[in-house]
């Protein structure tokens, strides 16, 4: 009688979900890691890179009122609405929500991540009309930190600052 070796086959099935895999580390950021005053170091939009202070702005990201100001010249703050950070999502959602008059709601969706002491933020170039009941799960947002020329997204790299109206 001859011994017969039987092979064992393992079938591995990978399912693509359309989202990046969550990092393995256990230290998830909190919303407070994203709130605060941030200064643009670099912005990418429509295939162009902006890295001169005259072309960049400062950001005050606060839950009740978020906005920006120019880094050069007269520092005039522009409010853009409340800021919503959802760290239960991956990548983290960082949205501006403008709840205007007559029940009209607009949202400027984005995603963000921390890289050391910097934040990388990709968001829509414009506000979109939104159904107020759909805001918690509103789906039209960037899916990646890579942007393309003539795409609907803008990418910023920012660093923390101590206070509003920081200028160069």
Determine the pLDDT at residue 6.
Answer: 54
Q: How far is the C-alpha of 154 from the C-alpha of 2, rounded, in Å?
A: 68
- Measured on CA atoms in the order 163, 88, 83, 143, is the torsion positive or negative? positive
Q: Model confidence over 3-47: pLDDT tens digits?
A: 545 554 443 343 344 445 555 555 789 999 999 999 999 999 999
HSE-CB of 120 using CA atoms within 13 angstroms: 13
40 close to 68: Cβ distance less than 8 angstroms: no
Q: The whole model's pTM is what?
A: 0.80
Mean pLDDT per 10-residue section of the chain, whose length is 168 residues: 48 42 69 96 96 94 94 85 94 92 84 97 91 66 91 96 75
CA pair distance 119, 38, nearest whole angstrom: 9
Task: Please calculate the CA angle 168-69-139 and round it to the nearest 5 degrees.
Answer: 125
In the chain, what is the greatest distance between 2 CA atoms, to the nearest angstrom? 93
pLDDT for the residue 42? 97
First to last CA, the chain: 87
């Amino acid at each position: 009688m001859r011994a017969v070796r039987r092979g064992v086959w393992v079938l591995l099935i990978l399912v693509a979900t359309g989202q990046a895999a969550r990092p393995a580390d256990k230290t998830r950021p909190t919303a407070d890691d994203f709130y605060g005053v941030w200064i643009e170091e670099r912005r990418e939009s429509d295939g162009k890179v902006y890295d001169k202070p005259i072309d960049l702005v400062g950001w005050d990201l606060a839950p009740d009122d978020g906005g920006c100001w120019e880094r050069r010249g007269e520092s005039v703050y522009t409010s853009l609405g409340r800021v919503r950070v959802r760290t239960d999502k991956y990548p983290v959602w960082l949205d501006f929500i403008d709840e205007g008059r007559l029940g009209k709601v607009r949202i400027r969706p984005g995603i963000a991540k921390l890289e050391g002491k910097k934040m990388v933020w990709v968001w829509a170039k414009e506000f979109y009309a939104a159904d107020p009941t759909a805001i918690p799960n509103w789906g039209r947002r960037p899916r990646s930190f890579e942007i393309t020329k003539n795409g609907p997204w803008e990418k910023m790299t920012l660093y923390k600052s101590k206070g509003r109206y920081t200028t160069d």
